[in-house]
Each structure stands twice: as structure tokens, then as C-alpha cells.
Amino acid sequence: MDLGLPHFDAELEELGLLAQTAGLEPVARITCKRRAPDAALFVGSGKADEIKALAEQTGATEILFDQSLSPAQQRNLERHLGLPVNDRTLLILEIFAQRARSHEGKLQVELARLQYLSTRLVRRWSHLERQTGGAGVRGGPGEKQIELDRRMIDESIKRTRERLVKVKRQRQTQRRQRERRDTFNVSLVGYTNAGKSTLFNALVKARAYAANQLFATLDTTTRQLYLADAGESGRSVSLSDTVGFIRDLPHGLIDAFQATLQEATDADLLLHVVDAANPHYPEQIEQVQRVLEEIGAANVPQVLVFNKVDMLDAGHTPAAPRDTFELEGVQVPRVFVSAQTSAGLPLLRAELVRAVTQDSAAKAVPAPENVPAHETPV
Ligand SMILES: Nc1nc2c(ncn2[C@@H]2O[C@H](COP(=O)(O)OP(=O)(O)OP(=O)(O)O)[C@@H](O)[C@H]2O)c(=O)[nH]1
Ligand SMILES: [Mg+2]
């Protein structure tokens, strides 16, 4: 069951898909309008009773909120409804925990979970601090316990970070080796479920896990892609498939997945894959742009790949298979493809060849000529 404002239909749909990805089955949804969330229950008590009745009627075993709940609201709701209550952030964390396969992925998820937990404790802690008398008496056992928990969590965060730094260092060594090989690095980015892995497989004839789920991919896979038409002897580029983005990606996750997301920051070119058959693709493009900014990849050149053209209705088929699309005031090349039927893939390859050739040309120019006269080369 989910809760949100009526005009956030798409967001509720996405919450449902997230729930399914986590192995839950949505049985009912309920929305409510409120000027401000209730401090104790998030919703009003009348609405809470309504949720309870609906849950009983549908046999729901868990309640999901699309919005973030404070620890107090979560506890109060669980008490009021007699069922476990979770929010979107927790759901995403749960999915990441289920999906993580590599050592690095597991460490990243663990770090995100610990960070989430630690913010909750901080809030609960300040909540207790404000009370004098009552349950959280100053210096009482509850307070000591929280301080103990805090210290343990801080310790775990520190340890997990250190382990991650080690793994990251290995990754960076690999990256440096790649740079030495003078490879052109292409990264697939895009909203979750846009078809990145399917496109990756179609381009490099690999078999990365693709599924109609959110966050099917958590770990980065990289393969060489040979472009016969690039230059006299052809050239190979390295193509990486990586984790998908989603609106309001929990902040701890961005931080924890920095190493994985770094793949995009270090790329020479981003193939920004868009699910063109999803009516909400403009919002999804915007969300992806926001994450790219956050990880410092906003200035990496992009090619927009409008995927799933095989699913477009007759009235919505593109006028031209290749054009440009305005992205934050910049005209970006756009190609329409279907990763599933391979339609448009030759055009996409041609786009890659163009980018690689341009890059080679730029690199072929002797360095001093690249420097404007008024600047001193260092
Ligand atoms: N009809 C159609 N379906 C596609 C196409 N490309 C991908 N799909 C489907 O879309 C779903 C998601 O594809 P994935 O390749 O797993 O998407 P992704 O972007 O890698 O998703 P995450 O790893 O979860 O972020 C799968 O069910 C694919 O079969 C396409 O061109 N046409
Ligand atoms: Mg994928």
C-alpha cells in the first residue's frame, strides 16, 4: 500500500514496481491530501484508521509510504496499524541489499545502510534529549543504549569505509591501466529499467543481466567494443554498463556507490539511455541529469539513446532516426534505437565512431597548440 498525492500517480506506480522488485506484491493503494504532515502519524488519525481498515480488508502484511517518515512517525504508525511500516528509502536500500553481488557492491550497500541507521539514531537521540522526565529520562538506560549503538555504528561505518577505500584503490589501478592503454571509455547511464543492460548486450554481444526490474544491475561490467570504421585500422572502445538512477536516490547510496558511479565521471562519452516508451521520460531525463551533476559528470559529452522504439504507437514514431535534442540549453545528438530488435544500432555505432574519431583528432594535435596564447603551459 502506498500513500501520496493524487497527481503523483507515476510516483505511486514506481513505488509499486519497487515493491515488486523487492519481492512484495502491491494489493491496494491509498492517497491523501494534507497541507503539512502530521508530526506523530504523518497522516491524520482518521486517514490512519482508513489505512488500517483497508489493510485488514485486503490482507496487507506491510504498509509502504512513498515519502520519508521520521523514526517517530514510523514507530507510531506501526503501533497504530499493527503492521510493519516502511518508506521508499528503506525499500530502495532493501533492493540494493538483495541485488548486491560483488564484494564492492556489498560493502557499498552496507555503508549506505549504516549511514541511514546512524541518521535515524541521531534523530531519535535528539528527540529523547528534548524530553525531561517521561520515558527518555536524561541519563536513563535508553540514552546510554543509544550512545552505545551510535558508537558501534560509527565504528562499523569507519571499518566499512576503510575496506571500500582498499577495493577502490584496486579499481583505480585498473583504471590507470586502462588509461595507459589509451582507451576511449564509454559509459551507459540512464534511469533504472531504461534498457541499458539490453543495449550493452546488443552492442558487445555479451550477456549482462537484464530484467524488467528496477536496479537489475548494481555492479559495473566493462567490455571492449570494436569499431571497424573508426580510423584506418579500426579502434576499440571500452563500454561500461552500470547501476541505474532513480528519482530521490537516497543520499547515502550516492555516497556509498561513488566508486561505481565514478565510472560515468571518468568516461569520455556517456550514452544516456532513455525509455522512450515511458510517458514520464522527460522527468526521468531530468533526474538522471541531477545525479550526473551530483557525481561531477555533468560535463562529460553525451549521446541520447532513445530506446524501446519498437514499443511506440504508430502516432509517436520519430520523424528521423537521428536528430538533436535540447538538454539544458545544449543540443545533444540523439539516436532512436530498439536494443531488443536491434533497430537503429548501426546508427548508434556510427555515432560512436564519430565521437572516437573526433577524440583521436583532438589528441593528435600537439599539446602547445591547444593552449591559448595568453596562458602559460605548465
Ligand atoms: N520492448 C523493448 N523492451 C526493451 C528494450 N530494451 C530493453 N527492454 C526491456 O526493458 C527491461 C529493462 O531492461 P534492462 O536492460 O534490464 O534495463 P536497465 O536499464 O539495465 O535496468 P537496471 O539495470 O535495472 O537499471 C527488460 O525487460 C528489457 O527486456 C527495447 O528496445 N524494447
Ligand atoms: Mg541493467
**Are 100 and 160 within 8 A, CB to CB?**
no
**Confidence check: pLDDT of 126 > 60:** no
Return the bridge partners of 309, or none.
none
pLDDT class of 315 with cuts at 50, 70, 90: confident
**Confidence check: pLDDT of 357 > 80:** yes
State the cell numbers at 6. Answer: 493524487
Q: Tell how far the Cα of 22 is from the centroid of ligand 2, in angstroms.
A: 16
Place of cell 536494443: 339
**Confidence check: pLDDT of 59 > 80:** yes
Instruction: Give the pLDDT of residue 47.
Output: 94
Instruction: Give the pLDDT of residue 124.
Output: 46
Nearest atom of ligand 1 to the alpha carbon of 341: 31
Q: Tell how far the Cα of 52 is from the centroid of ligand 2, in angstroms.
A: 37
**Confidence check: pLDDT of 112 > 70:** yes
Q: Tell how far the Cα of 244 is from the centroid of ligand 1, in angstroms.
A: 11
Q: pLDDT tens digits for 249-261?
A: 776 777 777 767 7
What whole-number distance in Å separates Cα of residue 277 and Cα of residue 272? 15
The mean per-residue pLDDT over the stretch 31-42 comes to 88
Q: Tell how far the Cα of 122 is from the centroid of ligand 2, in angstroms.
A: 35
Percent of the chain surpassing pLDDT 70: 82
What whole-number distance in Å separates Cα of residue 98 and Cα of residue 93? 9
Q: Look at phi and psi of residue 259 and say left if phi exceeds 0, alpha if psi is from -120 to 50, else beta.
A: alpha
Nearest atom of ligand 1 to the alpha carbon of 214: 24
Instruction: Give the pLDDT of residue 346.
Output: 94
Side chain identity at residue 354, one-letter code: R
Report if pTM > 0.85: no
Return the bridge partners of 12, or none.
none
Pocket, ligand 1, Cβ cutoff 6 A = 190, 192-198, 210-217, 244, 307-308, 310-311, 338-340
Give rounded-to-5 percent helix, strand, coil for the chain. 50, 15, 35
Measured from the Cβ of residue 47, the count of other Cβ atoms closer than 10 Å reads: 18
Distances (CA, A) of 182 to 207, 226, 236: 26, 14, 10
**Are 315 and 193 within 8 A, CB to CB?**
no
Nearest atom of ligand 1 to the alpha carbon of 245: 25
State the DSSP string of 283-350: HHHHHHHHHHHHTT-TTS-EEEEEE-GGGS-GGG--SSSEEEEEETTEEEEEEE--TTT-TTHHHHHH
Residue among 192, 193, 200 whose CB has most ligand 1 atoms within 8 A, to mutate: 193
Ligand approaching nearest to the C-alpha of 288: 1
Residue among 21, 188, 197, 220 whose CB has most ligand 1 atoms within 8 A, to mutate: 197
Dihedral angle over CA of 81, 82, 88, 92, nearest 10: -170
Ligand approaching nearest to the C-alpha of 341: 1
